[in-house]
Every structure is written in C-alpha cells, then in structure tokens.
Structure 1
Amino acid sequence: MTITADNAQQGASHPYRAMRDVIQAMDDTLPGKFEITKEGIVHDMMSPGGPHEVTAARISRRLEKVMPDELLAHNGTPDVEDEPEGIMRHPDVMVIAWTDLDSEASIDPRTLIAAIEVVSRSNPDNDWVGKMRDYPLMGIPVYAVFDPRTGTGAVLTDIHSTPGGPRYATRKDFVYGEDVTIGEWTISTRNLPRYRSDAAEQH
C-alpha cells in the first residue's frame, strides 16, 4: 500500500514531515513496516517470524562471524533517513560501525557500509524496484537483495550518475547455495529458507 505525499500533507507546510507524522501515528497500531519513498508512504505487510526473519537473522550472524569487531550487521532500529531527499527506509540488515549506530536519532545513510533486504512476499517491488532506486540516491554503497520466493538474489554496487539520478552500475546475481560477497566479506547462502507456495500453505 502506498500513501502519496499529497494525501499525507493535509495542510502541513512540508510533505515529508507530514508523512513522518502519519507513520508515527500508525506505527503502534498497524502491523508491518512503514517507509517513506519519493512516491509516498509504503506499508509492507510482513508476516511475523518465518522465512523473512530467519533469513535476516542468518545473514546477520554469518556476516558478523567474518567482519571485524568494530562493525556489526544490525537488524533492529532505528530507521535510515535522508531528510533532504525526503526518504526514510528501514533495511532488514545494515552493515555499520558501532560508533555510527550510537545515535538517538535516525541513522545517516552515508554511514552505512551496506544495506541488505529480504524480499517481502506481499510487496516484492518495494525491494527490487523502490529500494534499488532509493539506496543509491541516499549514498548507500552496497545493496544486497535476498529473495526467498525464488531462491535468488543480487548484490548492487558502484554508484554512478545517470539522467534519472544516481544508480548502481554493477549487479552480481546469485542463487541460494552459492557464496556471496557483500562489501569486503563473503558468506554462504546455503540453508536459507524459502517461502512456501500458497498451495503448500493451504495443506
């Protein structure tokens, strides 16, 4: 679901701040994850537990086993926010230094080493299209996508300028079972869970 900036503004002087107010009002009352994009507010209905959260947890643990102690693969709060661009995102996993995470406010996206997303069954375009556009615009140098629907993924790097704005120039696709390199660190993608088909879930 997307709520446009015009719908969220409702007389406020700044559409982005108005959308932030909408999110704060809804965050404690509705399930799922709320984010702000150039198009408006995105509400991603994630199911609690299951392949999505298991995938994020396993990626985080595998990265932290190979990264230096001053870094972590964080899968909690807060949000990553670029107010001048009018974007607020919440990566499933963010690779960041402990010192940069020590903030009471939102995280500056330019302090992230990498953002990692596990594709949602309910809104895959949010990860494959929206964040592929927003993350280079926010200056996040590495974006890794894991898709439990298909058992595939991609790592995007090398931000460069295009007529449509900053975009990733390099994309390396992988299939589950292969090793994947995110930033400077290589991890296994073996034994990552897949979403079951709708037919299987009904039996």
Structure 2
Amino acid sequence: MTIASNDARQGASLLYRTMRDFVHSTDDTLPGKFEITKEGIVLDMMAPSGRHELTALRLRKRLEKVMPEEIVAHTGEPDVEDEPEGIMRRPDLMVIAEADMDVDGSFDPRTLVAAVEVVSRSNPDNDWRGKMRDYALIGVPVYAVFDPRTGTGAVMTDIHPTPEGPRYATRKDFVYGEDVTVAGWTISTEGLPRYENE
C-alpha cells in the first residue's frame, strides 16, 4: 500500500514537472499565458487589454503608497509555485516582502502577503473559481479579485480546512468607487477602468 502511494506521488510529480517544462518552453513563443492548476494546464489566449494592465498599474501604485517600503506590489515574473500541490500560477499582482523576492526560480506562495487578480475578459472563471481554489490550496493568505467587466470585486481571507481541501472562509465584496482593504492596507477603487461593452 505504501509503495502504491509513493508510486502515485512520484507519477504526479513527474506529470507536474513535464507540464512545467512545457509551460516554460512556450514562454514568449506562443500567444497567451499558461498556468498549471489542479486540473492541468490553463491557457488564457487573449493578451491582456490596456484596461486590464491599467487596472493592475493603478492597484500597484495605490498599494505601494500605503504599504511599508519593504513590502512591494510586484507585477510580472517569476511564477508562484507549489510543486507538491502541482500548481504554478502567475498573479497579476503579488504583495510580497522585497527580501522574499531574492530567490532562484519561482516564488514560494507562502511568502506572499496577497495575490491580486484583474479578471480576464476571455476567461473569468479562471480568476473567480480556479485561482480562488488554488491560492487557498497553496497557502496565499489573501486573494483579491477586481472585475472590470462588472465594476465589482471581492477580497478572500481566512483559509480553513474543508473536505475538498483548504478554502477561504471570508469573502468581502465591493463595488468600484468604494474603498477596499487588501491584507490590512486600504485603497480606493475610484477611477479603475471598466471593459467596454460589458
């Protein structure tokens, strides 16, 4: 029984490393953004729109104004990876201590203070469902979602165990125009752009 369990873990680890190698081999060669979830590889085919990137920029600037200097709101690479769980994600914005960025390879998700996502027009379920599940599973204590389609969002906190695995216990919804608190820092959502035709 233990041998089968070890074989299953080794097989899952090999599958994950194969998926990770594929994702890394496609960086800058195929359109879209690849991530590894509990279900496998997810591809967001659409390049982020200007409004998506403008939202991430404004959130980064607003957070960095109120956070201590040693904490940053980082956009970009590397990924956040938990190999034992088989998950590799790249949040739109990572709130993290600058000292925790000094690593080779991916960031440890447990060093993040918060993950922030701007909902993609092309695949909103990835942000609202998949990432909400995965970030709790890999120990990211705060997950904030900003949705330019609807001008709404939510901040998830308080990871707790469930039969399906760790999940966020607390969800605070907001509408654009209200102040929102992300990991103890309050920022305005005034003036965040919306997608057109939504």
Whether the TM-score (by the shorter chain) exceeds 0.5 is: yes
Q: Percent identity?
A: 74
Gapped runs of 5+ residues in structure 2?
1-10
Q: Match for residue 29 of structure 2?
A: 29
Q: In the aligned structure 2, how far is the partner of 1:160 from the partner of 1:87?
A: 19
Q: Match for residue 137 of structure 1?
A: 137
1:188 paired to 2:182: no
Q: Match for residue 19 of structure 2?
A: 19
Gapped runs of 5+ residues in structure 1?
1-10, 199-203
Q: Match for residue 153 of structure 1?
A: 153
Query: 1:12–1:18: 8 Å Cα contact kept in structure 2?
Result: no
Query: 2:13–2:86: 8 Å Cα contact kept in structure 1?
Result: no
Q: In the aligned structure 1, how far is the partner of 2:95 from the partner of 2:46?
A: 22
Deviation for aligned residue 1:26: 1.6
Query: 1:56–1:93: 8 Å Cα contact kept in structure 2?
Result: yes
Q: Match for residue 73 of structure 1?
A: 73
Aligned residue type for 1:141: P
Q: Match for residue 124 of structure 1?
A: 124
Query: 1:151–1:175: 8 Å Cα contact kept in structure 2?
Result: yes
1:86 paired to 2:86: yes
Change in 2 beyond 3 A, CA 1:48/1:143: closer
Q: Match for residue 169 of structure 2?
A: 169
Query: 1:82–1:138: 8 Å Cα contact kept in structure 2?
Result: yes
Change in 2 beyond 3 A, CA 1:45/1:178: same
Aligned residue type for 2:24: Q
Q: In the aligned structure 2, how far is the partner of 1:144 from the partner of 1:194?
A: 17
Aligned residue type for 1:30: L
Aligned residue type for 2:62: R
**2:121 aligned counterpart, secondary structure:** coil
Q: In the aligned structure 2, how far is the partner of 1:92 from the partner of 1:48?
A: 10
**1:196 aligned counterpart, secondary structure:** coil
Q: Match for residue 114 of structure 2?
A: 114
Q: In the aligned structure 2, how far is the partner of 1:156 from the partner of 1:45?
A: 26
Query: 1:178–1:188: 8 Å Cα contact kept in structure 2?
Result: yes
Per-residue Cα deviation, 1:73-112 (whole angstroms, up to 9, x for no partner): 0012100000000000000000000000111210000000
Aligned residue type for 1:107: F
Q: In the aligned structure 1, how far is the partner of 2:133 from the partner of 2:13?
A: 26
RMSD: 1.5
Aligned residue type for 1:53: E
Deviation for aligned residue 1:13: 7.6
Q: Match for residue 46 of structure 1?
A: 46
Q: After TM superposition, which residue ranges in structure 1, 4 or more long, deviate above 2 angstroms?
A: 45-49
Per-residue Cα deviation, 1:34-62 (whole angstroms, up to 9, x for no partner): 10001110011233441110000100000
Q: In the aligned structure 1, how far is the partner of 2:45 from the partner of 2:74?
A: 21
Q: Match for residue 7 of structure 1?
A: none
Aligned residues: 188
Q: In the aligned structure 2, how far is the partner of 1:139 from the partner of 1:28?
A: 29
**2:107 aligned counterpart, secondary structure:** coil
